[in-house]
Chain A
Amino acid sequence: EVQLVESGGGLVQPGGSLRLSCAASGFTFSSYSMNWVRQAPGKGLEWVSYISSSSSTIYYADSVKGRFTISRDNAKNSLYLQMNSLRDEDTAVYYCAREEGGGSYFDYWGQGTLVTVSS
Chain B
Amino acid sequence: DIQMTQSPSSLSASVGDRVTITCRASQSISSYLNWYQQKPGKAPKLLIYAASSLQSGVPSRFSGSGSGTDFTLTISSLQPEDFATYYCQQSYSTRMYTFGQGTKLEIK
Asked if B49 and A103 make an inter-chain contact with CB atoms under 8 angstroms apart, the answer reads yes
B46 is an interface residue with CB less than 8 A from chain A: yes
Taken together as a complex, chains A and B put the C-alpha atoms of A107 and B45 apart, in Å, by 7
Within 8 A of B (CB), among A1-52: 35, 37, 44-47, 50
Taken together as a complex, chains A and B put the C-alpha atoms of A107 and B96 apart, in Å, by 18
B16 is an interface residue with CB less than 8 A from chain A: no
In the assembled complex, the CB of B28 is this many whole angstroms from the nearest CB of chain A, namely 16
B-side interface residues, number (CB < 8 Å): 26
Give the residue name and chain of the A residue nearest to B44 (CB).
A109
In the assembled complex, the CB of B24 is this many whole angstroms from the nearest CB of chain A, namely 16
Contact of A104 among B42, B44, B55, B91 (CB under 8 A): B91
Give the residue name and chain of the A residue nearest to B85 (CB).
A44
Contact of A44 among B32, B50, B102 (CB under 8 A): B102
A100 is an interface residue with CB less than 8 A from chain B: yes
**CB-defined contacts of A112 to chain B, threshold 8 Å:** 43
Count CB-based A-B contacts (< 8 Å): 62
**CB-defined contacts of B49 to chain A, threshold 8 Å:** 100, 103, 105, 107
A-side interface residues, number (CB < 8 Å): 21
A68 is an interface residue with CB less than 8 A from chain B: no
Contact of B94 among A37, A59, A62, A95 (CB under 8 A): A59
Interface string of A88-113 (1 = CB under 8 A from B): 00000001000010011111011110
Q: Knowing A95-B43, A105-B91, A112-B43 touch, does A46 contact B99 (C-beta < 8 A)?
A: yes
Residues of B that sit less than 8 Å from A by CB: 1, 32, 34, 36, 38, 42-46, 49-50, 53, 55, 87, 89, 91, 94-102
16 contacts between A and B (CB under 8 A): A37-B44, A44-B102, A45-B36, A45-B38, A45-B44, A45-B87, A95-B43, A103-B34, A103-B50, A103-B53, A104-B91, A106-B34, A106-B36, A106-B46, A106-B89, A107-B49
